Each structure stands twice: as structure tokens, then as C-alpha cells.
A and B are shown apart, each in its own frame.
Chain A
Amino acid sequence: MKLTEVKPGLKVRILRVDRHGVRQRLALHGLLEGDVVRLKRAAPWNGPLLLEVGEREVALGRGIAEKIEVEPLTCALP
């Protein structure tokens, strides 16, 4: 699934980043494929997503988040 489809509060692992440019920029900010992140919150009106990456927090715009393929680590409660 895409990162944009993840519900806030869930932990996911980054599987793949689609665009090379985006992958590089994310890597520069210490976000690589295989990393586990938690979606903390999402800004309204298609605003950015706030991720918890280890001990840091990083905000990603939707355009960036759409390029990120992730797998959920825990099941969402119904």
C-alpha cells in the first residue's frame, strides 16, 4: 500500500520509493527503504503527513508520500 493510505497511529515499513530523485532526497534526510516509521498525524486539506522515524519527526508532503510503498507492521483494529 501507499504511505498516503495508512491510518494515523500505525507503524509501517518502507518497502520501496518509486522515483529516484525522491529516494535520494529522502535518504539525505535519513529515510531509507527498510526503515520502520509510524504515521503520527496528517494535516487536513491534503496537507503533509507527520512521521515518527526513530527518535525524530519528519513531515512529508503528499506528493512525496505518494511515491512511498509501505507494508503495515501491525493490524489495524476494526
Chain B
Amino acid sequence: MRIALIGQPNCGKSTLFNQVAGYKAETGNFHGTTVTYTESRLRLGGKVVEIVDLPGLYTLEEGSPAEQEVLRYLQSHAVDVIVNVVDAMRLTSGLELTLELLDLKRPLLLAVNMMDEAAARGLEIDFETLSKILGVPVLPLVASKGRGVREVFLTAQYLAETRRLPQPTLIEQFQPAAVMIATEPEMPFQVMDLEQRHRLARQIGAQVMHWGARRVTWRDRLDDLLLHPVGGYFFLVLVLWGFFQLVYSFGKFAEVPLLAFFEQVTALLRSWLGGENLLFYLLDSTVQGVAAGAAIVLPYLVPFLLGLSLLEDIGYLPRVAFLMDSFLHRLGLHGKAIVPFILGYGCNVPAVMATRILEDERDRLVAAALSVLVPCAARISVVFGLVAFYLGPLPALGLYLLNLLVIAFTGLFLLRLLPEPTPGLILEMPPLRIPTLRVIGSKVWFRVRQFVTEAWPLLIIGSVVLEILQLFGAERWFNFVLRPLTWVLGLPDATGVPLVFGILRKELSLVMLGQALGSTHFDQVLQPIQMLTFTTFVMFYLPCLATLGALKRELGGKRMLQVSVLTILIALIVGLGVRLAGMIFWG
């Protein structure tokens, strides 16, 4: 049996899904978090059922690629029952999709989510009447707190087993015009177009929704501040600064003792095994790989993901889009493109995938090309572990600002290259929400686990591989081939290998750098300007392998190559610029 979760964007489908499947689908309080479907198995009343979380969509009529994904799924998979999730506060607009789903002639259940928020706003919904009008079961739900989840799935299972189809008999009492157009009276909605559904949904909504007195809530007051023409930008800078400080101070606090600990381990190994044998080399490089993950990456990654998850779940990101729309317009994009950008700070892969929420193909290309320039969490470990740790927070912040400038200039350049007008912004502004600790916790864990299971082993293997290469003297070949590059950038010979392996995972370039140079005390083997040049180059050149794969899937192989060449050129130019600026500055 297969249960599909369908609903408008940001109605809480993924939150409901995660309640029963464990944290598998990314969630966030903004539109377009889910751009592909996620499936999971679930034991329900002794039976195993498949459940699928689909991207949010407004209508089954054609739209963005994320919406087409839903249609393709419905056509290619046998879905036994549809759970239509709607946001209680936006019930009226949600019903437009529900009316369309009735047409699919499959068992259907309406789950009215966010009932806690509705109650706080004094909204009462007449479930019984709504259920009679639509001819489907209607259940209340608070997915974020797990209330009503069991009932929803048990009812869904019952509907699927009994194959009970929707029986919207009472719907004819509404808007006779819409029904009269129908040629077959028993199937009144087949001829309903978007506009008719819109009117019908409003009439139904008016009958079943009873609003309390409209009050000015804390949400309105907070929005007055967050979206204020002057204060909003001030606040934005404050938030970003606070974010940066959080990551920097926590990371530094944890990095120093952890590095010291792993040095002790190495010293211990040396005294046990003696310094000059194969076993020592292998064990030592393994320890270095472990140390890099534990001492250099995780201390910055965890606070970073925590901060990003908080901003996502509060719903601050669409507000940033609102504030930044006019700037993005000058780069030939609109505010919606901020979603891939901000996701890019976590990881470039979801960022590239999130470009699906943009309607226009050219917009998707530009947004993807720019979002791979955004320094992801992996590159953060290089920026923080190298530059911030040895040179202080200001140069690190400077690199971030430089990054923004480079993205802006690249945007302008692409605008020249592809000068089509962008269609302009249409963006739903979700209400501000207080995130639940549980969702934030599982989200951070979900993303940290990805690093621990996917990237960390690679770091360790990479570290060992480099050690072996060095034993056989093979790393010289890599360094020789890359010498023109490292020479131009004024970097030591040995940085060639770390730069090559950085393509696998950006953290690798830092881990291997320590090993290639023979010391993790980077201040003893690199000059400040070399640290800056190296980090700048790592920040921009070729996105990692996983991102390249995402680019190929979303844009095609040719576009992927073009974006790759572009990033290498940018990395070279900016890296050289930083080197020259440093030579002038430091003399």
C-alpha cells in the first residue's frame, strides 16, 4: 500500500512525514524546501506501508519542475490513498488544490495542519460540515508536535483498504454556475477551471471558517521590525554578524583543546612505534584524518548548522528574500533565488536542486552558477580552521564579504551574457514560527550525520592515501602538473595535491594541506598571505564532486562544464587579486 502526502508549499507535509519516518526529508519554514520526493516504509497496524513525501504545489496544472515531479510521480506510481495536507490558516487557498484532487478519483483524506496556530489566532473550523461538503474525512493535525498524526495515518489506511472514493455530493449547493457548466451532472468538477475552483474554495472557506477578532499579534510587531525599510537591513546585518560570531567563538573554543588532544595521540603513537616505520605512518595519517573531522570541521559545522536551521524554521529566509529582491534584480535575478543561495551556505547540492523552484530556465542556470560560488559548510572549515584560527575573525569576515562581491560581479557578467528579462518575484511570505526544539535537533543531527557517515570516512581515507603517495614519492607528479597554478598563486609546491583532492570534498584540501606540509601548525609553514590565497582559491574553484553531479542532473553535462570552467577562471582571477593585494599590503 502506498500513501502519498500532497499539499501546497509550506503546509507541513515533510514535517508530518518526518514524524513517522524519522528525519529523512528536509524541512524549513519557507516554500520549496522539498523539490524531490522522499519515500519511506512504515509499520501501520501490523502492515508495512509505503509513504511518500512530494514537493509542494499549488495546482496540478503544469508549473515549475518541482510541480511536474508530483505529476510524474502520480502517473507512474500506484498511489492507494492521498493525504492532502493543508495549513489551517490558509485553508481557503489550500482547498483549491483539494478540489482538484477530488477529480483524481482516488481515496482522499484532508489533514488540516497547524491547528495550534489556528487556535491561537481564534480560528475555528467546522470539520463536520467541511467533511460533508467534500465527501472525504477531514482530520485536525499539529504535525510539528505529533498531535493527530496517528489518526491521520490510520484513517488513510482504512480508506485505502476499503477503497472509499470521495463523495462530494453537497458540493453542488455552492455556486450553481460552476456546476451547471458541467455536462455530466455526477461529475461536476471536471470542467472546473482554476478560476472556478478559486471561487468555490472561497465560498466553502467562508462557510466553514470562523475567525475570531483580528488582533495585532507579536508576529505583526516582529515583522514591522524585520521588514522595516531601514531597521530591517540593520537587523539583517546584526543577524549575520551574530551568526558569524557564534560559529567563530564556539569553533575556536573547541578547536584548540581538540587539536592539542590529537597531538598527544600522535606523540604517544610515535613513542610506541618509533617514528620511522610503515605502521606508524599509516596510523598517524588515520589519526590526522580523524583529527581533521573532530577538531577542525565539527567545531564549526555544528554551530553553523544550528544557526542555519533556526533561521530556516523561524521563517526569516523569505524575509531576507523580500529585503534583498531589489539588489538581486540588479544581478538579473529575483528574490526567490535567495533560497538556493542560503541553502548553499549549508551545502551546494541542495542549493543546486532548489533552483527548481524558479520558473524560468535561464534563472535556474544563473542561480545554479552563482550558488556554487557560495562557501558551503565544508569550505567554512577551511575559512575558519585556517584563516580565522590563525589570522583572526576579521580576515575571515573579509573573505566572506569578498565572496559576496565576487558573486555580485559574476551575476552582472552573466546578466550581460544572457540578457533576458526575469519574470519577477511572486513569493509567499510564511508566518513567523517558533521552531520546536525537537525538529531543530533532528535537523542538525540529520545534517551532521551526513558529514560523519559520508565525508569523514573520505577525509580519513584521503589522509591515508596521501601518506602512501608520499611514501612512494608519487605526490610529486601531482605537484609538478599543478606547479604553474601554485606558482602563479605564490603557494608552496606541496599544495598541488590538496587542491586536486579538494574536488572530492572541500574539507580534504585542508586535511591534506596539513599533511602535505608536514605540520598542522599552519602558521609555521605558510605565510598569512599564502593562507588567504589558498583559501580564496579553494572557496571558488570547481565545486565538489557531489555538486558537479547535481549540476549535471539539473542543467545537463554541457552546462556543468561551462559552470566548471567559469569557477576555475574566477578562482584564478580572485586568488591572484588577493595575492597582489597582500603583496602591496604586507610588502
Contacts and interface: CB of A to CB of B under 8 A. Distances in A.
B423 interface: yes
Nearest to B31: A29
Contacts of B428: 29, 56-59
Interface in A25-50: 25-30, 32, 41, 43-48, 50
Name the interface size band of chain B.
35 or more
B63 A28 contact: yes
Interface in B92-143: 92-93, 96
A41 B429 CA distance: 12
Nearest to A28: B58
B425 A61 contact: yes
A54 B566 CA distance: 45
B60 to A, nearest CB: 11
A64 interface: yes
Contact of A61 (B58, B61, B229, B329): B329
Contact of B195 (A27, A46, A50, A59): A27
Interface stretch (B180-188, B235-243, B320-328, B453-461): B320-328
Contact of B429 (A25, A27, A59): A59
Interface string B67-85: 0000000000000000000
A32 B195 contact: yes
B518 to A, nearest CB: 52
A9 interface: no
A59 B425 contact: yes
A78 interface: no
A50 B322 contact: yes
A26 B93 contact: no
* Interface SS majority for chain A: mixed
A55 interface: yes
A41 B424 CA distance: 18
A14 B330 CA distance: 28
B227 interface: yes
A45 B229 CA distance: 9
B198 interface: yes
A36 to B, nearest CB: 11
Given A30-B58, A44-B229, A50-B227, A61 B335 contact: yes
A7 B535 CA distance: 48
B363 to A, nearest CB: 12
Given A61-B325, A61-B424, A29 B90 contact: no
Contacts of A56: 89-90, 93, 428-429
Interface centre among B227, B229, B327, B424 (most CB of A within 10 A): B424
B335 A59 contact: yes
Given A25-B359, A28-B58, A55-B90, A43 B426 contact: no
A60 interface: yes
B93 A54 contact: yes
Contacts of A41: 227
B205 to A, nearest CB: 8
A59 B422 CA distance: 16
Contacts of A64: 423-426
A29 B429 CA distance: 12
Contacts of B96: 30
Nearest to B335: A48
Contact of B326 (A21, A28, A43, A57): A43
A31 B427 CA distance: 12
Given A28-B59, A29-B426, A32-B198, A61 B92 contact: no
A60 B227 contact: no
B364 interface: no
A41 B425 CA distance: 15
A21 B360 CA distance: 12
B90 A59 contact: no
Nearest to A52: B429
Contacts of A22: 423-424
Interface in B431-473: 431
Contact of A47 (B93, B318, B325): B325
Nearest to A53: B93
Contacts of A59: 318, 321-322, 325, 335, 425-429
Nearest to B194: A27
Contact of A63 (B61, B322, B424): B424
B65 to A, nearest CB: 14
Contact of B323 (A25, A47, A63): A47
Given A26-B426, A43-B323, A44-B230, 12 more contacts: A21-B423, A27-B198, A28-B194, A30-B198, A32-B194, A32-B198, A41-B227, A54-B92, A58-B427, A59-B325, A64-B424, A64-B426
Interface of B: 58-59, 61, 63, 89-93, 96, 194-195, 198, 202, 205, 227, 229-230, 318, 321-323, 325-327, 329, 334-335, 359, 421-429, 431
Interface of A: 21-22, 25-30, 32, 41, 43-48, 50, 54-64
Q: Which 5 A-B pairs have the closest CB atoms?
A: A61-B425, A63-B424, A61-B424, A57-B429, A47-B326
